[in-house]
Amino acid sequence: MRTGPVRPARTGPALLLVTALLAALLGLLPGVGAEAAAAGAAGDAPAPGGPVPSPVDFTGAGGTVLHGLVLAAPGAKAGTPGPGLVMLPGAGPGPLAELRAAAESYARHGVTVLVFDKRTDGYSTTHRDYGQLADDALAAVRLLRARPEVAPDRVGLWGLSEGAWVASLAATRTTEAAYLVTVGAVGLTPARQQAWAYRGYLRHAGVSGSLVTALSDTSVRLLSAAGLFPEADYDPVPVWERVRQPVLAEWGTLDREAAPEESATIIRRALDRGGNTHYTLRTVPEVRHNLHLTRDDGYDRPDQLPADYAGTESAWIQRLATGLPAASADPAPHQDTRSLALDPLPWYESTWFEVVATLLCLTGFAGYALSGAVRLLRRRPRPAALPRAARWAALAGTAALLGALGYLLFLMLTAAMFPGPVLFGRPVVWLAVQLLALFALGAAAVAAAGARRERAALAAASLADRARLGALLLAGLVFLPWALSWGLLLP
């Protein structure tokens, strides 16, 4: 989930290793985005009659210096201070440029806004702390309250998707935030929400069968158990029960990421249980998760705001100066499917078991193929005792294993938005991997039968050759349950 947790899957051993490496690389990207956004913001000049930008720096949690931009409402004066709003992005790098257009729209409606680059220290694909992000948000609130064009008692928090988890948590830690606005807030745990979103995107692409389970269930649960899905089990419900500020929570009717029907119901009930009677739950027609326009029924991510963006929200904020709203809620957006609970992993699907199984398969298949390639390069003849089918099993098994893990990783990093061409309900890539898995198992079985027939000749082969073949046959044996658990042998 970009705007969902990222977010960030459940995967086998090699996939865990590859994920960690890619996560480390992706963790560098936020800094690049932040620098670009800061460079663009620093050179901005106010458009005639538009919001007035002012670059700011402030200290967040742990002493981290954060860079932001205050967009003052046109004509704002110190003598007539108005409302202020700190905006928090969804999951991902979160440079302030992501929310710049939305912030300017609020500013044009009379609300002074602070947006800032999300921290890169302590936030990455595989690690984040919502408490730390909430403290960053509170530091931003304090900065905005000190601005002369802002009334200190009229500063609120705004959060999109993951930012809604952060903003609601921050609201429970302070009385300095006067109100809370959320967009695409999720009432489920990040892991359960991400699994629901994966299924929806795959279904929209025409995908059915084993890949849906492999991505939305197996991958999410395994990554969560391995600690590679940050904040996977974060429960937002107790936090919403403690929110005391007036709340405006909004969901688009075409929200395909937040499980909006369930989330709106969960959050409303939590507010009721906590005794908060000053909330407005609003359903916005014909917009997607972040209330932007869509060209594909909410399954795309164009960066285009509706013409009336922030109008209703700004009016709600302005009215708080005259009184608190009574509780009201629109009918929640419809969901075609419900989210599913994610059960704990059984021992045979646990992280350590998956890691061991994957490494055994890689060692047997890839080791046999690589040693054969070295022999070929050195122009050494293949030992006659080694079955020819073993070579094909090694090549197909290596390709199937790495192909499955690599494709699942790609789907996770792209939020399942680009599965590729689909044939018979399966992406062509997944279908090819399934065929390779079947071929690898068949070739391994033929190699095992051949080794049994030629056991006398094998006894005369070198210890290294016998070890290579033994490792390959063991890999074929382990690969059978491994492939079944990932759906490679299922429809």
Residues of the chain where predicted confidence (pLDDT) is lower than 70: 1-49, 77-78, 379-385, 460
Q: Is residue 317 part of a domain?
A: yes
How many domains are there within the chain? 2
Q: Within this chain, do residues 320 and 353 fall inside the same structural domain, yes or no?
A: no
Measure the CA–CA gap between 432 and 403, rounded to whole angstroms. Answer: 9
Residue 206 lies in a domain: no
Give the pLDDT score at 33. Answer: 34
| 256 and 285 housed in the same domain | yes
Contact (CB, 8 A) for 332 and 261: yes
The pLDDT value given to residue 47: 52
Per-residue pLDDT, 20 = 40
CB atoms inside a 10 Å sphere around CB 464: 10
- Residue-level pLDDT at 344: 85
Asked, for residue 310, whether it belongs to a domain, the answer is yes
Q: Are residues 318 and 402 in the same domain?
A: no
What's the rounded Cα separation, in Å, for the pair 395 and 397?
A: 6
Domain co-membership, 280 together with 383: no
In this structure, are 397 and 318 located in the same domain? no
CATH code, 22: 3.40.50.1820
Instruction: List C-alpha distances in Å: 110 to 140, 427, 458.
Output: 19, 49, 83
Q: Give the pLDDT confidence of 115-155 residue by residue, as tens digits.
A: 999 999 999 988 999 999 999 999 999 999 999 999 999 99
What is the span of the domain harbouring residue 467? 347-485
Phi and psi for 181 in degrees, rounded to 5? -120, 130
C-alpha span between 311 and 252 (Å, rounded): 15
Shared-domain flag, residues 267 and 120: yes
